[in-house]
Homo-oligomer: A and B are copies of this chain.
Amino acid sequence: MGRAQCRSDMAQSSTLTKRESYAPMAEPLMEGRQRVIVARVSPEVDCGRFAIKRVVGERVIVEADVFADGHDQIACQILYQQSGHELQASPMKPLGNDRWRGEFTVDKLGGYCYTVEGWIDRFETWRRDLEKRISAKQDISVDLLIGAELIERGAARAAPEDARVLLDCAQRLRENAGNDSGAAIALDSEILKLIRHYPERDFVTQYEKQLPVVVEREKACFSAWYELFPRSCAPEPGRHGTFRDCEEWLAYIASMGFDVIYLPPIHPIGKTFRKGRNNSVSSQPGDVGSPWAIGSAEGGHKSIHPDLGTEQDFRRFLAKAADHGLEVALDIALQCSPDHPYVQQHPEWFSTRPDGTIQYAENPPKKYQDIYPFYFETPQWRELWQELKSIFLFWIEQGVRIFRVDNPHTKSFPFWEWLIGEIKTHHPDVIFLSEAFTRPKVMYRLAKLGFSQSYTYFTWRNTRQELTDYFNEVTQSEVREYFRPNLWPNTPDILPEFLQVGGRPSFVLRLILAATLGASYGIYGPAFELCENAPVATGREEYLNSEKYELKHRDLNSNHSLKSLISRLNRIRKENPALQSNRNLRFHETDNPSILCYSKASDDLSSVIIVVVNLDCFHVQTGWLNIDLSSIGLDARHSFQVHDLLGEGRFLWQGSRNYVELAPESLPAHILRLRRWVRTEQDFDYYL
């Protein structure tokens, strides 16, 4: 390390304050008699820096290490609180090895927090020891007097009627301390039950942090998205579609069972450096340009492209969609075309090059001259942030409650944390989807900062190993506390190799995986249901004649459309609560790497789905499953029925090992609902 660098550190980093690493409690002396330790509370994201996420009605299962010195019994409980409301408590039970667990349910939108407190349970300690002394036939007369004192102290905390009962008991203990009836009085289970209501919590230890929860509405976790370019919705080819045209599509989309229609940006599109078909650098007259090149003389992020319609048309479209049970998600891409009004009005929000021009978007050597990124290091960042926030508020005002955010990973992290916090404080029902396909830590950070849902690597995970590893990571590790996956088999930017080569069976396969592996999933339609799979060039994932740069016109009634399969899948998802959560995913062994098997089960095991997928879209695959029966509440002795909700077959299976055979062209997967027999004790006897 260079000499000068060191000097420079000292100057710039004098904020590293001296800290006494020894004796943190030397002064002032706190309460030295707090003997209980509460540590390693989970869930806890980055030492409590970030909130865990839940939807209304979900449980929060809290665990903690709680223990004390010596041999005393301890007790502990969760304390939790909806912001601005009353504190509540929920008991915890020991799991062994000084670990405790409890739970509470969040039933309101907004913020909660929780913590854990523990204390010496003096009465239980005394009672446990007393039982041991009695077993060892020791003299307990003094111990009974100690118990009388504990009960009297309990009475002092009790409601009057309970206090009377306790004081009476204490008195009888004192009177009978020397004779044989004392033990029976002391161990009376009614007294135990009563005094448990009035624990002596002196020197209680509360965990040093209050951990935050953000509670969102159910759709933040469970949703089915359909991405649609409204300009391609005209009934006749070649005409620019309008919101009025889109209304005609609502019945079609609703019939497939989707609940979110997501629209790419609907704003005026820039003309300077407009991209032509297939992303050519020069556009031809009539080329419509990319919707992500936002802004022209006709307006910016708060305006609607005149060819789509008016604000009134848009609001009418939202209402019509709602009539079909559909919500509209808007795409917010925080970038400008060179023609955006901001460029003239606020040049300070952009970076200027030494030649006086504005810095266009680049990832050298690639140049995107039709896009000006906002300059998040501008000295006027406060004004920029406020203006960007006002864009979201504008569309919230129009009735939008879901935003898909374009490339959030190229805007500064502090901005997103502030923005989402600001919006959700006043609109806790707003959902944000993070469209970041980038490095894992960046994707996870965005989720921690507040995005409700995130795009995932599912798009490129095809093999059993890849799928198992990735979905174990997002559903079984700490990641699940803050990252909610939204699975997309395709997007306007990504036609994955797997779909390019696998034909219709590969679309079927990826659709089934997306709809059952994830509680949220989406497709870019109608490209998906019509199995469009021509890339712009070999080795590229861009669509040929991409809809990003031109109008499309399709035949929705094509024979090979997947619309009926999609309808069925979305109905299965809605009818089976097991498929509406992510944290309940479990993979099961198979003896054939082309066969993937996983299950999902509701908390109470009343809904259990087992999915078996042939990952090979070219060949029939057969194999044996090895199902972890305990994870779905079964044991190996009994047979059980599984009902294939896709193929309608019914199978009687026994134990963990069962055979499957799946043909890609006809039935590439089973989605099996477990039918649980209700057996009586007599039935069990019969089997034994």
Contacts and interface: CB of A to CB of B under 8 A. Distances in A.
Contacts of A8: 157, 197-199, 201
A10 interface: yes
A22 B79 contact: no
A286 interface: no
A425 B26 contact: yes
Contact of A414 (B5, B19, B25): B25
Contacts of A86: 10
Interface string A15-26: 111111111111
Contacts of A136: 364-365
Contacts of A214: 21-22
Contacts of A132: 364-365
Contact of A364 (B84, B129, B146): B129
B354 A23 contact: no
Contacts of A113: 16, 18-19, 21
A385 B32 contact: yes
A110 B23 CA distance: 12
A640 interface: no
Contacts of A648: none
Contacts of A414: 25, 30, 32-35
B421 A26 contact: yes
Contact of A442 (B48, B88, B98, B353): B98
Contacts of A450: 22
B22 A421 contact: yes
Contacts of A415: 32
The count of identical subunits is: 2
Interface in A94-128: 97-98, 110-113, 115, 117, 128
Contacts of A208: 49
Nearest to A417: B25
Given A145-B354, A364-B132, A115 B16 contact: yes
Interface in A414-465: 414-415, 417-418, 420-422, 424-425, 439-442, 445, 450
Contacts of A29: 382, 418
A651 interface: no
A382 B28 CA distance: 12
Nearest to A144: B354
Nearest to A39: B46
B145 A197 contact: no
Interface stretch (A69-77, A508-516, A581-589, A610-618): A69-77
A631 B610 CA distance: 43
A169 interface: no
Contact of A69 (B145, B157, B410): B410
B67 A441 contact: yes
A26 B142 CA distance: 60
Interface in A132-162: 132-133, 135-136, 138, 142, 145-146, 149, 157-159, 162
A284 interface: no
A135 B91 contact: no
B98 A422 contact: no
A89 interface: yes
A98 B197 contact: no
Contact of A9 (B89, B203, B355): B89
A40 B32 contact: no
A475 interface: no
Contact of A199 (B5, B26, B145): B5
A21 B353 contact: no
B111 A355 contact: no
A196 interface: yes
A376 interface: yes
Contact of A162 (B4, B9, B138, B425): B4
Interface string A31-70: 0111101011000001111010000000000000101011
Interface in A521-552: none
B32 A381 contact: yes
A377 interface: yes
Given A22-B110, A145-B353, 18 more contacts: A2-B197, A5-B199, A10-B87, A20-B83, A21-B51, A21-B111, A23-B424, A30-B414, A32-B385, A35-B412, A47-B48, A67-B439, A129-B362, A132-B364, A133-B365, A136-B364, A138-B365, A145-B354
6 contacts: A3-B197, A5-B199, A13-B87, A13-B117, A21-B51, A98-B442
**The 9 A-B residue pairs with the shortest CB-CB distance in the complex, in nearest-first order:** A23-B421, A21-B212, A136-B365, A21-B111, A47-B47, A145-B354, A2-B197, A129-B364, A4-B197
